[in-house]
Structure 1
Amino acid sequence: MTVALAPVDADVAARLLERVRTRRPRVHCLMNTVVQKFVADGVTAVGGIPSMTSSEEEVAVFVRRADSLTVNLGTLDAARRAAIGVAASVAVAAGKPWIVDPVHCDYSPARLAFARELSMLGPAAVRGNAAEMMALGLRAGLEGGPAVVITTGPVDRLLSATRSLRVENGHPLMAGVTGTGCLAGAVIAAFLAVEPDAQLAAAAALATTGVAAERAAPGARGPASFGIAFLDVLATLSPDDLLTHARIHDDRA
């Protein structure tokens, strides 16, 4: 018997943004050191409450207090690897949703092996660019693997075991600001905290950051002013903005 899937559209994104704003989920971000402030500001702007510690001695406590977790492999050293292992174990044991961002796993065999190990611990989502996701070679919905596999780019593609979605929002200036992709992972984590369907949550989150980028770009003079405008728009973005501008498509439709 085939189970009918609910449609995924701008209305879903609008409702989930409103839910994030209302619930203000705590998101623990094991983020690369280059973009920590930008990501913390972005999570706050969208309506979440970020925490950022990567101390192995403290991370378990912070993850237990959080509603979701985002793991980013951008600046990976022995101490951060150990903290990530602790955080992932706590999230799995506590049943908290979490996402893996396998930054540059296509560059390093050791990083690729670690990314694969994390991806088979049952995260809600794994999100990366085309090269990273090709290197990982993941399939959504397999036992132990992620519920949704997300490949971001000019068009974001989100694959689950039952559905393929596309999010077509965004702007080329996003590529000129270090951390927009990392922030997208953290925003997905915020949406995962309020929506159990990982694919719906991720699509709504990517539409949110994409629409914010589109609205911020016209007034920007370059990447620096765009980064500031992007955060400003993200903080003021309304569900009505998503109803009007979000472009989410189901490939089966």
Structure 2
Amino acid sequence: MARTYPTAEQAADLLDRVREKRPRVHCLMNTVVQKFTADGITVIGAIPSMTSSSDEIADFVSKADVLTINLGTLDAERRNVIERAVDIANDAGKPWILDPVHCDYSPSRLEFARTLIARRPKVVRGNRAEMALIGSLGDIVSIETGATDRITDGGRTVTVRNGHCWMAQVTGTGCLSGGVIAAFLAAELDALAAATAALAATGLAAEQAAACARGPGSFGVAFLDTLSALAPEALREGARIDHDD
């Protein structure tokens, strides 16, 4: 049977479905980028929640459609809460995504990331250095971010060529994109297709924002504006998605 690959048409359809469904995304996000990530999830059409309280995590994850975990600003309490959240998500069959932030800096963080990956997230997203240490993930969707984003599920490999260099100069754009991937994952069972559509959407919004921004500071604000206003038609025409076959 021929493999099917994500397309710009599918990305546009998924953007519509996210806005119609308005999925709840619970974020265990590093403290530096919580507001920016929450704003990005909100403007794309989903509903974020951000608590990492051990007293509340069960209630919030139970009510969410999808969970996103970011290993930035990691400490012992956050590790415990993350493990509980993964237990709850897995028991309920809820999809979750992992961003192993700076696992290339810390052996203990890398070990924790590998422990979490053994519990089968739908998506693992990181930069080249992080993903090189994580290694092959088999059929778990892995994303290596950079000037272009490479997404694979072990059988299919896709490259998204949308984006702008200012994304690397605004803290939190990668974390925000992880939240958007989670929102798309709540609306699409094919995790490769969901991740591809989300990265095309955030990348195209970044291109549009850069066209009207004066530099990284104004770009961050414009990025939220363009992500909010992003039309499915623009994504259909502007998504640059390639695949290996």
Coarse TM-score class (shorter-chain normalised):
over 0.9
Q: Secondary structure at the match of 1:100?
A: strand
Deviation of 1:17 after TM superposition, in Å, equals: 0.4
Q: Secondary structure at the match of 1:103?
A: coil
Is 1:175 the equivalent of 2:179? no
**Which of 29, 49, 52 is 2:50 aligned to?**
52
Q: Distance in 2 between matches of 1:40 and 1:218?
A: 24
Q: 1:184-227, CA deviations, whole angstroms, 9 ceiling, x for partnerless residues?
A: 11100000000000000000000000000000001111111000
Residue pair 2:30, 2:70 contacting (<8 A) in 1 also: yes
Aligned position for 2:111 = 113
Q: Distance in 1 between matches of 2:167 and 2:138?
A: 27
Deviation of 1:22 after TM superposition, in Å, equals: 0.4
Q: Secondary structure at the match of 1:74?
A: coil
**Which of 226, 233, 242 is 1:233 aligned to?**
226
Q: 1:96-133, CA deviations, whole angstroms, 9 ceiling, x for partnerless residues?
A: 11100000000000000000011110100000000000
Aligned position for 2:18 = 20
Q: Distance in 1 between matches of 2:97 and 2:207?
A: 25
Is 1:75 the equivalent of 2:68? no
Q: Which runs of 5+ in 2 are unaligned?
A: none
**Which of 128, 136, 139 is 1:138 aligned to?**
136
Aligned position for 2:5 = 7
Aligned position for 1:144 = none
Alignment-mate amino acid for residue 251 of structure 1: D
Aligned position for 1:103 = 101
Identity %: 61
TM-score, length basis structure 1: 0.95
Q: Secondary structure at the match of 1:70?
A: strand
RMSD: 0.8
TM-score, length basis structure 2: 0.98
Q: Residues 205-220 of structure 1 correspond to what in structure 2 (within 5 A)?
A: 205-220=198-213
Instruction: Give the number of equivalent residue pairs.
Output: 245
Aligned position for 1:201 = 194
Alignment-mate amino acid for residue 227 of structure 1: G
Aligned position for 2:62 = 64
Q: Which runs of 5+ in 1 are unaligned?
A: 142-146
Q: Residues 155-174 of structure 1 correspond to what in structure 2 (within 5 A)?
A: 155-174=148-167
Alignment-mate amino acid for residue 182 of structure 2: A
Residue pair 2:125, 2:145 contacting (<8 A) in 1 also: yes
Q: Secondary structure at the match of 1:29?
A: strand
Q: 1:32-56, CA deviations, whole angstroms, 9 ceiling, x for partnerless residues?
A: 0000000000000001000000011
Consecutive aligned runs of 4 or more in structure 1 exceeding 6 Å deviation = none
Alignment-mate amino acid for residue 138 of structure 1: S
